[in-house]
């Protein structure tokens, strides 16, 4: 279903032809993000991502860049995470050459103009403010800060305002040169494509790119001896919180069972916590459990927004369900439902060319190994009821519990809330 080729300069090219597709997605991933930063340049991965949209020789300004794909009804954007920076364009199959030329142009030929950098600082500072004013998003960042502290894994991807305002062209180019090397880059094109022809076009765009050594990240070292709480005081209409535990990284075989466990707990509208917290007790409109795994970290977390007075009750209800997962085996029927749900949503997402590109390219970048959907489904099917209980017994321990909160609470309440974390 897919073809992967490594060029002589180390660039990896993945093509994914999709029968009867009407779209083409071009995706470029770079193996860098905030985990690769130092404290003084935290936020520079994200800042650099923004600068690719400011002008090339061929498309000298933001307007020329944006109207290229706007004029054919294309979709495009970029993103930065802890370990990945990505750029993508999705167009009607008739315009695939336009999309490829556009994304290769901004990726290879951006000018990184100093004046544009100064102007963009204001944009990103407002983006910081937007997230700070969005508790539903910010509480997830606080949860990771609680887990990993003052280390790259615990820092915000977007960085802090002081750093952003201090960036200059030299810092940005130094970071670019340290990480944007062909062997650290994947170009993936999916949809209505001919693999051989597309591969040849990509090879031509990157023919002058020379490989070099790339910067490495510091491996995360996790240490926790007791339950922990992080309070962020803010006058809000709701209390937002994340309650979760340390778990497994991408290379741990237990990640499939962990994903199923998170679905059973709070992955959909028939999950245990959705029924218990929302439907039976009316405490939350939104409650969700998810599992997150990266190359050297992993966790399971439940997030909800509730009335301030219901924080204690909500936390206790969630902990009850955490505890029940290790005290009593789930039924085979409940496990099968979770398996069918996970395989179903995966299959549905892979109908689109952009999801196909992400599915294959992210695996290659982070794990250097690609499993097809069918191969992943086989691993999901191998998970047993006993596997779920063993994981629950391993992760649902007092010394792995963490609670991050945004709401009108004072720091003096920290210890009282920490006493709730019993399981």
DSSP 4: E
Identified catalytic residue from 37, 49, 144, 228: 49
**Alpha carbons 301 and 402: distance in angstroms, whole number:** 9
Q: How many CB atoms lie within 10 A of CB 142?
A: 21
Residue 228 annotated as catalytic: no
CA–CA–CA angle 216, 121, 159 (5° rounding):
40
Count the Cβ atoms, other than its own, within 10 Å of residue 6.
12
With CA atoms as reference, report the closest residue to 371 among 350, 391, 393, 341.
350
Q: What is the DSSP string of 84-134?
A: -EEEEEEEEGGGHHHHHHHHHHHHHH----HHHHHHHHHHHHHHHHHHHT-
Q: Which positions ≥6 away from 213 have C-beta within 8 Å?
A: 181
The span from the CA of 406 to the CA of 154, in Å, is 17
What is the distance between the alpha carbons of residues 45 and 315, in angstroms, rounded to a whole number?
A: 35
Report the distance separating Cα 235 and Cα 408, nearest Å: 5
Q: Determine the Cα–Cα distance for residues 92 and 290; give it in Å rounded to an integer.
A: 33
The CA distance from 142 to 244, in Å, is: 12
Cα 322 to Cα 89, 127, 245: the distances in Å are: 41, 35, 10
DSSP 407-423: ES--GGGHHHHHTT---
Torsion sign across C-alpha atoms 365, 371, 377, 383 = negative
Length of the chain: 423
What are the catalytic residues? 49
């Amino acid at each position: 279903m897919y073809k992967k080729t490594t060029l002589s300069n180390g660039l990896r090219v993945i093509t994914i032809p999709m029968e009867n597709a009407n779209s083409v997605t071009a995706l470029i991933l770079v193996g860098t993000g905030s985990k690769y930063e130092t404290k003084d340049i935290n936020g520079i991965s994200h800042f650099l991502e923004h600068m690719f949209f400011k002008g090339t020789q061929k498309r000298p300004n933001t307007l020329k860049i944006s109207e290229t794909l706007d004029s054919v009804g294309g979709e495009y954007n970029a993103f930065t995470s802890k370990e990945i920076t990505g750029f993508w364009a999705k167009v009607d199959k008739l315009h695939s050459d336009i999309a490829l030329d556009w994304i290769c142009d901004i990726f290879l030929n951006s000018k990184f103009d100093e004046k544009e950098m100064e102007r963009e600082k204001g944009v990103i500072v407002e983006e910081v403010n937007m997230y700070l004013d969005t508790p539903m998003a910010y509480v997830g960042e606080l949860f990771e800060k609680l887990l990993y502290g003052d280390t790259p894994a615990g820092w915000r991807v977007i960085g802090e305002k002081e750093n952003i305002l201090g960036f200059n062209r030299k810092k940005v180019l130094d970071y670019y040169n340290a990480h944007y090397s062909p062997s650290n880059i994947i170009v993936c094109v999916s949809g209505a494509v001919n693999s051989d022809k597309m591969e040849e076009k990509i090879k031509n765009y990157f023919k002058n790119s020379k490989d070099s050594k790339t910067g490495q990240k510091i491996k995360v070292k996790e240490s926790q001896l007791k339950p922990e709480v992080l309070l962020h005081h803010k006058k809000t209409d709701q209390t937002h919180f994340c309650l979760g535990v340390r778990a497994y990284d991408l290379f741990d075989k237990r990640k499939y069972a962990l994903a199923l466990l998170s679905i059973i707990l709070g992955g959909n509208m028939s999950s245990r916590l959705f029924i218990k917290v929302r439907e039976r007790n009316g405490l939350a409109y939104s409650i969700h459990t998810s599992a997150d795994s990266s190359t050297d970290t992993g966790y399971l977390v439940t997030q909800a927004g509730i009335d301030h007075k219901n924080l204690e009750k909500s936390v206790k209800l969630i902990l009850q369900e955490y505890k029940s997962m290790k005290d009593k085996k789930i039924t085979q029927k409940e496990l099968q439902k979770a398996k069918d749900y996970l395989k179903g949503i995966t299959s549905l997402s892979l109908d689109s060319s952009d999801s196909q590109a992400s599915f294959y390219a992210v695996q290659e970048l982070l794990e250097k190994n690609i499993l097809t959907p069918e191969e992943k489904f086989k691993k999901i099917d191998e998970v047993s009821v006993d596997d779920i209980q063993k994981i629950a017994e391993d992760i649902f321990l007092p010394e792995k519990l963490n609670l991050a909160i945004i709401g009108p609470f004072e720091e003096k309440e920290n210890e009282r809330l920490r006493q709730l974390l019993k399981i």
